[in-house]
Structure 1
């Protein structure tokens, strides 16, 4: 049974009620950094983790995409913030101090030292690995299609979209655009959308025929739009150059923050190695044992071109 994929995230603000275990979002304030700009390398004798412990908080960037990382009623909620709160608390850093950012600005913001970690369920890709450091995978999730209820065009995956010449919606800067191209969907038939809700709205309005995203994201989108005339098809694993694209998601750190990333990974392994604990922490966001990344799935392998 394949263990797919998480893609790249982007987002819409959830309309759900305040979720238990969420992190309160204080006003974002600037602070003097004690790291070398753009690298995360510590100034002076203090390590980055030591500095975070001393100040009592870690700055996290998120993109407002449920169920991965989103703001709801003044709180930071979702898969990544919940895991990261658990991990950083264990590391002696009890507070997440979040900054809401457009998805495409997350890595630039990280490199500019606006935050210390990206907490957004971002897909681990070779292109991104060339710029930043990723944690071990936090989850896997297959790609899926959202279509109009009853699936009138008989779609199943991106290859079927190419065969039928339909219009496919994807999120701007998300990996699904490359999956669509590799599956033979014509560039003119791929429509970029700013956020998840735009995809559902475009589908209902007939501006697109299918919306491609992770199954987790699409199931959540359907849940918070109960009654919408849409359905989510069975997930599938797309291919690029003949290779299955699992695209697991993880936390993102600046180059030079390897010690912090390694400490994070040690705590993360204790969660992903205990499926019951994993589901207990993030099951409320639709994550099950099926989304637990296998221990054989390594970031170093995913980062290779």
Structure 2
């Protein structure tokens, strides 16, 4: 769960100049009088039920949300399809976009929800609203076979002078900085496969991402001379970073988000059903978020009590 500095598991801010401030505000232009706060669209779920579909944005990042032939697959679309079906909206209508364009696209009204396993971070919570966590996935390192530098976490990367690869605008960049990895030793990469390739080419010593993502990457590159280490929970200013991901909604879609949460709780509260739904993508009962882990706490940079 992998995922990102700025706004998503990667970022809103980088695209702001290209889209323009006015364009970004278009999707939330209706406001409560005198407050400037987005007006809640309490009729959105009824609208979605009437049309029979919900527009979802995804970024082509396995195993969270990706195209498998003609099918929208992955953790988030599978869970979201189950949730929206229970809400009377049987179809997910997908839009593929770059990860960094998901938040701008959502705010501009290109889709109604982001289905990409996006990490819940305080920065993002300032722009959008999240569901309760769909999963947790601690960070891990992919290293060359044999782990020549003996790397176990980002603190060890800083200690050993290792070069760390992260996805563009991903949360792992902030984790590396907090662990003491110099900015010049953090290399940004566009795609997961780029990380593995850079590792094999010796351009980086470790590739930091969620354990789920790295296990999937290793699985799809069977035979590559890499290994994935034991997952760990990074800290920023003494606060554990749980790498929890969720669905993302516009600030004015609170009623839809709340209805979504009620159905999601039925799935995350039943580990057997959870694994039956998304076990094919590498998710296990270990990825079920504990009930004590709440989005409100994650948005406030607090972990579970």
Q: TM-score, normalised by structure 2?
A: 0.87
SS in 1 for 2:115: strand
Structure 1 residues 66, 154: closer, same or farther in 2, change over 3 A? same
Q: Are 1:125 and 2:121 an aligned pair? A: yes
Q: Give the 3-state SS of the residue equivalent to 1:136 in structure 2.
A: coil
Is 1:277 matched with 2:277? no
Cα distance in 1 for residues equivalent to 2:192 and 2:259: 33
Q: 1:254 Cα shift?
A: 0.2
Residue 241 (str. 1) matches residue 237 (str. 2): yes
Q: Tell me if structure 1 keeps the 8 A contact 2:267–2:274.
A: yes
2:3 counterpart residue number: 7
Structure 1 distance, partners of 2:70, 2:225, is 30
For structure 1, which runs of at least 5 residues remain unmatched after alignment? 11-35
Q: Output one character per residue of 1:27-63: Cα deviation in whole Å (capped at 9) or x when no partner.
A: xxxxxxxxx94139799x9700000000000000001
- The answer to whether the 8 Å contact 1:191/1:208 transfers is yes
* CA distance in 2 between partners of 1:6 and 1:205 (Å): 23
**2:70 maps to which of 70, 74, 81:** 74
2:190 counterpart (167, 184, 194): 194
Quote the offset at 1:6 in angstroms.
4.6
Q: 1:156 to 1:178 in 2, by over 3 A?
A: same
Q: Partner of 1:235: helix, strand, or coil?
A: coil
Please identify which structure carries the higher helix content: 2
CA distance in 2, matches of 1:40, 1:274: 39
Q: Secondary structure at the match of 2:146?
A: coil
Sort the Cα spacing of 1:55 and 1:105 in 2 relative to 1 into closer, same or farther, 3 A: same
| Distance in 2, Cα, partners of 1:253 & 1:183 | 31
Which of 74, 95, 99 is equivalent to 2:91? 95
**1: distance between equivalents of 2:42 and 2:262?**
21
Partner of 2:28 in structure 1?
Answer: 39
Query: Within 2, Cα distance between the matches of 1:115 and 1:287?
Result: 26
Give the alignment's TM-score, normalised by structure 1: 0.87
Deviation at 1:74, TM superposition (A): 2.1
Correspondence 1:145-224 to 2 at 5 A: 145-224=141-220
Q: Shift of the alpha carbon at 1:163?
A: 0.4
Runs of at least 5 residues in structure 2 that lack an aligned partner in the other structure? 11-24, 31-37
